[in-house]
Amino acid sequence: ELKVEQNPLFLSMQEGKNYTIYCNYSTTSDRLYWYRQDPGKSLESLFVLLSNGAVKQEGRLMASLDTKARLSTLHITAAVHDLSATYFCAVGDNTDKLIFGTGTRLQVFP
């Protein structure tokens, strides 16, 4: 059974600082997604990673995938308040299903 874990669960960081969110999963997968969720809202798609070594960047966020280690990272560069949200990784199993990580609640303060 595929299990997905994220850490940290909660992250409070100062504006301008860098940090990384980690997503570990338990079985082989060929696709991994990162999503952002604002309070009371649905999911906003950020990245899809499909191959070992894949790296994607958009703005202050960069996601990478290491399929051998079963690990994905979401790196935040020079955080700003607007990045405050909950971030989820989700891993595709061998069917169409997505299994979501526990989520990381990010709070960026001045």
Partner 1 sequence: GAVVSQHPSWVICKSGTSVKIECRSLDFQATTMFWYRQFPKQSLMLMATSNEGSKATYEQGVEKDKFLINHASLTLSTLTVTSAHPEDSSFYICSANTPGLMNEKLFFGSGTQLSVL
Contact 86, 105 (CB under 8 A): yes
Provide the pairing of β-strand 43-49 with 85-92.
unpaired
Q: Which residue in 24, 54, 100, 107 binds partner 1 (CB under 8 A)? A: 100
Work out how close the CB of 41 gets to partner 1 at its nearest, in angstroms, rounded to a whole number.
7
Which string of x and - marks every residue 47-86 that binds partner 1 (by CB under 8 A)?
xx-x------------------------------------
Identified binder of partner 1 from the candidate list 31, 60, 70, 75, rule CB under 8 A: 31
Radius of gyration of the chain (CA): 13
Q: H-helix or E-strand containing 61?
A: strand 61-66
